[in-house]
C-alpha cells in the first residue's frame, strides 16, 4: 500500500519519476474492478433467491 501511494502521488503531484501512464493504471486497477463487480453480482443474485 505504501508503494502504491508513493507511485500515485508521483504520478498526480510529482514529476512522474516512475513513468506511469493512464494505460499502466488501467492494467493495474482493471482486474480489481472486474473482481469487485463479479463479487457484487454474485451477492446480488444470491439475495434474489
- Taking the C-alpha atoms of residue 36 and residue 20, their distance in angstroms, rounded to an integer, is 24
- For the chain, the straight-line distance linking the first and the last C-alpha, in angstroms and rounded, comes to 37
pTM of the model: 0.69
- Taking the C-alpha atoms of residue 26 and residue 43, their distance in angstroms, rounded to an integer, is 25
Residue 26 lies inside a defined structural domain of this protein: yes
Residue 28 lies inside a defined structural domain of this protein: yes
Residue 15 lies inside a defined structural domain of this protein: no
Contact of 25 with 16, CB cutoff 8 Å: no
What are all long-range contacts of 21-29, with beta carbons under 8 Å and residues at least 24 apart?
none
Residue 39 lies inside a defined structural domain of this protein: yes
Residue 37 lies inside a defined structural domain of this protein: yes
How many folded domains does the chain comprise?
1
Per-residue pLDDT of the chain (49 residues; tens, 9 = 90+): 899 999 999 999 999 999 999 999 999 999 999 999 999 988 766 666 5
The range of the structural domain enclosing residue 28 comes to 22-49
Residue 42 lies inside a defined structural domain of this protein: yes
Amino acid at each position: 500500500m505504501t508503494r502504491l501511494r508513493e507511485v500515485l502521488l508521483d504520478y498526480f503531484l510529482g514529476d512522474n519519476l516512475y513513468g506511469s501512464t493512464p494505460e499502466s493504471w488501467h492494467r493495474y486497477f482493471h482486474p480489481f474492478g472486474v473482481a469487485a463487480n463479479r463479487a457484487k453480482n454474485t451477492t446480488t443474485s444470491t439475495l434474489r433467491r
